[in-house]
C-alpha cells in the first residue's frame, strides 16, 4: 500500500479543453479523478474480464445502456453519478440479470469544477461497490463552454442471467399481482424542487437506489416472478402501459393502495401533475403469481430499499383500456401513457 500522499498533477481547479485532447492533461485528469477511484483492471483501452456466471451452460448475457443528463447534477439524495450507476444496475436487475460490470463515459463542459467531478466519481465508486458491480472501463470528452450543460454521464452494464430464468412482460397472466417497492414520485418531486424556480421547499429526497440485491431476494422468495420494470421517466403509468401492451392484459390499479407521500401528492396538486407519471430512480413494479405475492412483499420489506413495498393492483383479462385505476368511490379512471413531456432532464 502506498502511504504517501501523491501530489496532484492537475493544474487549476477547472476542466479545460486540454483535458479532452488525448495528451498528457487528459491522461492526468483520467488517472487522478477516475482511474484512481474506479480502479479498472488492466491498461489497454478495453477491460478484459471473465465470469463463471456467464460461462455456465444456459446462462445469458444481459447488456444495457443509459445516458444521464439530469439538472442539477447534484440534488438531495444523490447526484448524476449515483443515478448513472443505479439506473444501469436496475436495468440489468429488473430483467433477472446479476449485474457484473459497468462502463462509464463522461462528456464534460469546459469550466466544470474538478472538485465536482471528484465528488461524482466517489459517489459512483461507492454505489458500485454497494451494488456488487465494478466500473471497468470508461471515456472522457471535453466540449467547449456552452457545448453541453456541466456534465453528462452514460453508463452501460453487463450482467449474467442464470440458466432457466425468464423475467419478461410477455409472461404476465390475468390474476398476477402488481407490487412496487416503495413510495412513488420522490425522485421527480425532488428534482422539481431542487431546480428552485418554483420556490417549493420540501423535505423529500430522491429515491435513487440500486435494486440488484432486492431483485435477487424477491426472486428467491417468489421464484414464479413474471416480470419487472424499473420506474424512471414516465413513472408507473408509462411502465404499466408498456407492460400491459406487451403482455396482452389490462392492469387495474387501486387508487387507495398507491403509496405516495402527502408532500408529493400536495406538490402535484399545486402544479397540476399526476404522481403516477413522476419519475423514480429506485423503484420497480413487479408482477408475481397471486400465491407468491405475500412472500415477495415480505422479501422486499426486509430490505431498506423495499420497506415501503405495497400491492398496487393486478393484471386482468385484457379490456379496451390497458391501465385503469379504481377510485375509492367505485369509479374507474383511464391511466394513459404520457403523451408529451412532464419534466425535462429528470434523469
CB of 152 to its own copies, least distance (A): 6
Cell of 105: 463515459
CB of 93 to its own copies, least distance (A): 9
Residue closer to its own copies (CB basis): 123 or 140: 140
Cell of 64: 444495457
Residue closer to its own copies (CB basis): 229 or 314: 229
Partnered with residue 254 across adjacent β-strands are 326
Residue closer to its own copies (CB basis): 122 or 168: 168
CB of 280 to its own copies, least distance (A): 11
Residue closer to its own copies (CB basis): 81 or 138: 138
Sorted by sequence, the CB contacts under 8 Å of residue 36 that are 6+ apart come out as none
Residue closer to its own copies (CB basis): 49 or 316: 49
Residue 30: helix, strand or coil by DSSP? helix
Dihedral Cα 258, 264, 269, 272, nearest 10 deg: -90
**Which of these, 96, 150, 155, 148, lies nearest to 125 by C-alpha position?**
155
CB of 170 to its own copies, least distance (A): 8
Q: Is the dihedral of CA 278, 282, 288, 291 positive or negative?
A: negative
Sorted by sequence, the CB contacts under 8 Å of residue 4 that are 6+ apart come out as none
CB of 213 to its own copies, least distance (A): 18
| CB 342 within 8 Å of CB 267 | no
DSSP characters for 256-286? GG----HHHHHHHHHHT--GGGS--SS-EEE
Residue closer to its own copies (CB basis): 133 or 193: 133
CB of 256 to its own copies, least distance (A): 25
Task: List the Cα angle 12/15/18 in 5-degree steps.
Answer: 95
CB of 262 to its own copies, least distance (A): 25
Residue closer to its own copies (CB basis): 143 or 298: 143
**Which of these, 26, 46, 167, lies nearest to 101 by C-alpha position?**
46
The b/e string for 40-61 (b: 16+ C-beta within 10 A; e otherwise) is beeeeeebeeeeeebeeeebbe
Residue closer to its own copies (CB basis): 167 or 193: 167
Amino acid at each position: 500500500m502506498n502511504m504517501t500522499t501523491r501530489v496532484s498533477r492537475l493544474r487549476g481547479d477547472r476542466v479545460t479543453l486540454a483535458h479532452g485532447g488525448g495528451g498528457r492533461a487528459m491522461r492526468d485528469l483520467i488517472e487522478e479523478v477516475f482511474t484512481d477511484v474506479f480502479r479498472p483492471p488492466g491498461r489497454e483501452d478495453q477491460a478484459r474480464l471473465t465470469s463463471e456466471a456467464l460461462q455456465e451452460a444456459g446462462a445469458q448475457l444481459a447488456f444495457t445502456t443509459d445516458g444521464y443528463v439530469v439538472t442539477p447534477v447534484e440534488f438531495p439524495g444523490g447526484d448524476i453519478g449515483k443515478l448513472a450507476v443505479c439506473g444501469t444496475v436496475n436495468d440489468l436487475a429488473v430483467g433477472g440479470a446479476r449485474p457484473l460490470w459497468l462502463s462509464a463515459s463522461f462528456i464534460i463542459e469546459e469550466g466544470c469544477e474538478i472538485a465536482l467531478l471528484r465528488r461524482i466519481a466517489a459517489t459512483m465508486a461507492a454505489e458500485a461497490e454497494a451494488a456488487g458491480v465494478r466500473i471497468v472501463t470508461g471515456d472522457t470528452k471535453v466540449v467547449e463552454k456552452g457545448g453541453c450543460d456541466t456534465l453528462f454521464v452514460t453508463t452501460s452494464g453487463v450482467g449474467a442471467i442464470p440458466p432457466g430464468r425468464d423475467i419478461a412482460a410477455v409472461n404476465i397472466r390475468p390474476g398476477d399481482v402488481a407490487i412496487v417497492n416503495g413510495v412513488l414520485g420522490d425522485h421527480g418531486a425532488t428534482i422539481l424542487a431542487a431546480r428552485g424556480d418554483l420556490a417549493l421547499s420540501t423535505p423529500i429526497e430522491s429515491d435513487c437506489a440500486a435494486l440488484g440485491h432486492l431483485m435477487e431476494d424477491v426472486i428467491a422468495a417468489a421464484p414464479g416472478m413474471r416480470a419487472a420494470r424499473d420506474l424512471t421517466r414516465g413513472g408507473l403509468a408509462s411502465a404499466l402501459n408498456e407492460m400491459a401492451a406487451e403482455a396482452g392484459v389490462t392492469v387495474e390499479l387501486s387508487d387507495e393502495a398507491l403509496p405516495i407521500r402527502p408532500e408529493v401528492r400536495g406538490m402535484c396538486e399545486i402544479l397540476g401533475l399526476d404522481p403516477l407519471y413522476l419519475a423514480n430512480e429506485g423503484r420497480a413494479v413487479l408482477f408475481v403469481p397471486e400465491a407468491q405475492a405475500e412472500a415477495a412483499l415480505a422479501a422486499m420489506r426486509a430490505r431498506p430499499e423495499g420497506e415501503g413495498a405495497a400491492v398496487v393492483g393486478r393484471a386482468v383479462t385484457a379490456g379496451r383500456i390497458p391501465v385503469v385505476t379504481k377510485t375509492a368511490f367505485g369509479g374507474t379512471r383511464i391511466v394513459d401513457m404520457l403523451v408529451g413531456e412532464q419534466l425535462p432532464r429528470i434523469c
